[in-house]
């Protein structure tokens, strides 16, 4: 892809991965990008690299702007391999005067590449690097996404190079937010937040507070994945504020798997009860929905209700997978309940309820178990459970 000048003498030189469909458990149906930025000043700096198989794309992008050997500094904002995979070859090619990273970044780079001979320079929050007419300000953003992560802010351009934060997994030929469909853009950004950053929400809140306190004047945010926010960066900052406060809406997600459709019938009856109480309901059968798409919907759902048939004295594996995934991402302040059909032992509902309690969900009901196929009366009970949870959802405003 052609390099793109995003600010005067600041160029996107990254790679577009049209084909990736799984990003460690996250479904990337529309691919992703690995954004890398090249700043040309008296000194020339490259911010992050790309995933290793995309080295040639990066080199091609750089060569459109400058002879790679002229690059003075490699700035490593994040060591995860989707941004650092090409580092060894890039260092061979550009022979940088300095490889600039956080203290944790140096540690992680050594643990990945074992190259003590690279010219590391460790920076901390508040330190700056002059490139000539432009100055880079560093801000460590530990755990967003890894302990090594940091932001680079170029004051003269009011440009925040934000590493993983504010990203989206979406491969596009467009580079800027205002060139694409807005609802789709925000859906990708929300899915990214729900699946990658939700568990770090308290740190996101802290970071947003620091950014505000530092009075950073930002008119463009350039993340390492997806579109660059130039039209109104405060919109995505506001969205991160909402998501990291874990604000929820009058919405319920029913997530389930079913053996012979009995649990599915129960899901529908519970959904009808919730809808009757005024709640917006979404049903996800895990046979046909990916865990990361369900997680994207859980982001603003006030109630999450899990259903599973009992299999081999436990729950169905898809439901166990989903619970494990949700637990790791730590949604807080949610209402939960369990339901499911069984043949003779019927442990699934109890096991799900235990998992919900461990995740500190507000469990309003011991859950509903139905032997084999639900009767009309059983489905009425499911509807009543939906009503009960629906009223609790509505009471919260």
Binding site for ligand FEO (CB under 6 A): 78, 80, 82-83, 145-146, 164, 224-225
Asked if 251 and 280 count as a contact pair (C-beta separation under 8 A), the reply is yes
82 is catalytic: yes
Calpha distance 87→95 (Å, rounded)? 11
Least distance (Å) from ligand FEO to the CB of residue 163?
Answer: 8
**SS percent in the chain: helix, strand, coil, step 5:** 40, 25, 35
Paired sense of beta strands 310-311 and 335-342, if any: unpaired
137 is catalytic: no
Least distance (Å) from ligand FEO to the CB of residue 364?
Answer: 36
- Give whichever of 74 and 315 is closer to ligand FEO, judged by the CB atom: 74
- Give whichever of 19 and 312 is closer to ligand FEO, judged by the CB atom: 19
Active site residue: 48, 140, 164, 300, which one?
Answer: 164
Least distance (Å) from ligand FEO to the CB of residue 51?
Answer: 9
- Give whichever of 78 and 175 is closer to ligand FEO, judged by the CB atom: 78
CA-wise closest residue to 46 among 2, 84, 17: 84
80 is catalytic: yes
Least distance (Å) from ligand FEO to the CB of residue 305?
Answer: 31
225 is catalytic: yes
26 is catalytic: no
> Which residues are CB-neighbours of 153 under 8 A, at least 6 positions away?
136, 137, 138, 139, 159, 160, 161, 216, 218
- Give whichever of 17 and 164 is closer to ligand FEO, judged by the CB atom: 164
Least distance (Å) from ligand FEO to the CB of residue 283?
Answer: 31
145 is catalytic: yes
Calpha distance 157→280 (Å, rounded)? 43
Least distance (Å) from ligand FEO to the CB of residue 82?
Answer: 4
- Give whichever of 134 and 145 is closer to ligand FEO, judged by the CB atom: 145
Calpha distance 105→110 (Å, rounded)? 8
The two structure tokens encoding residue 310: 């009992």
Active site residue: 11, 83, 137, 145, which one?
Answer: 145
3-state secondary structure of 228: strand
- Give whichever of 80 and 177 is closer to ligand FEO, judged by the CB atom: 80
Q: What is the number of residues in the chain?
A: 397
Torsion of CA 150, 179, 193, 75, to 10 degrees: -10
Active site residue: 17, 82, 224, 378, which one?
Answer: 82
**Read out DSSP for 12-65?**
E--EEESS--EETTEE-TT-EEE--EEEESSSEEEE----GGGHHHHHHHHHTT
Active site residue: 78, 137, 169, 387, which one?
Answer: 78
Torsion of CA 205, 206, 209, 213, to 10 degrees: -170
Known catalytic residues?
24, 78, 80, 82, 145, 164, 192, 225
């Amino acid at each position: 892809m052609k390099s793109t000048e995003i600010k005067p003498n600041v160029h996107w030189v990254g790679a577009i991965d049209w084909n990736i469909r799984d990003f460690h458990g996250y479904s990337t149906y529309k691919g992703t990008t690995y954004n890398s930025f090249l700043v040309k000043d008296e000194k020339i700096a490259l911010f992050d690299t790309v995933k290793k198989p995309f080295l040639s794309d990066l080199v091609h992008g750089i060569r459109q702007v400058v002879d790679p050997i002229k690059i003075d500094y490699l700035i490593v904002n994040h060591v995860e391999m989707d941004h650092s995979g090409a580092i060894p070859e890039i260092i061979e090619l550009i022979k940088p005067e300095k490889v600039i990273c956080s203290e944790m970044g140096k540690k992680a780079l050594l643990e990945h590449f074992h190259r003590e001979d690279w010219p590391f320079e460790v920076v901390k929050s508040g330190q700056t690097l002059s490139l000539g007419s432009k100055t880079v300000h560093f801000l460590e953003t530990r755990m967003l996404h890894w302990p090594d992560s940091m932001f680079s802010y170029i004051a003269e351009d009011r440009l925040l190079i934000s590493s993983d934060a504010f990203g989206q997994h979406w491969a596009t030929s467009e580079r800027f937010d205002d060139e694409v469909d807005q609802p789709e853009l925000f859906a990708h950004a929300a899915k990214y937040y729900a699946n990658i950053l939700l568990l770090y929400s308290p740190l996101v809140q802290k970071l947003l507070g620091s950014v505000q306190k530092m009075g950073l004047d930002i008119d463009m945010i350039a993340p390492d994945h997806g579109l660059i926010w130039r039209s109104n960066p405060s919109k995505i900052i506001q969205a991160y504020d909402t998501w990291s406060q874990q604000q929820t809406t009058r919405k319920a997600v029913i997530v389930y798997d079913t053996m012979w459709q009995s649990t599915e019938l129960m899901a529908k009856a519970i959904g009808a009860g919730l809808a009757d109480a005024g709640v917006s309901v979404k049903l996800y059968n895990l046979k046909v929905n990916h865990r990361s798409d369900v997680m994207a919907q859980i982001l603003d759902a006030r109630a999450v209700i899990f259903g599973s048939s009992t299999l081999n004295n436990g729950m169905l594996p898809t439901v166990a997978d989903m619970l494990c995934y949700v637990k790791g991402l730590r949604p807080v302040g949610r209402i939960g309940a369990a339901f499911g059909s069984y043949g003779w032992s019927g442990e699934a509902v109890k096991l799900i309820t235990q998992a919900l309690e461990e995740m500190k969900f507000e469990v309003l009901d011991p859950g509903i178990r139905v032997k084999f196929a639900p009767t009309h009366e059983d489905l009425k009970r499911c509807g009543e459970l939906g009503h009960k949870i629906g009223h609790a959802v509505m009471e919260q405003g």
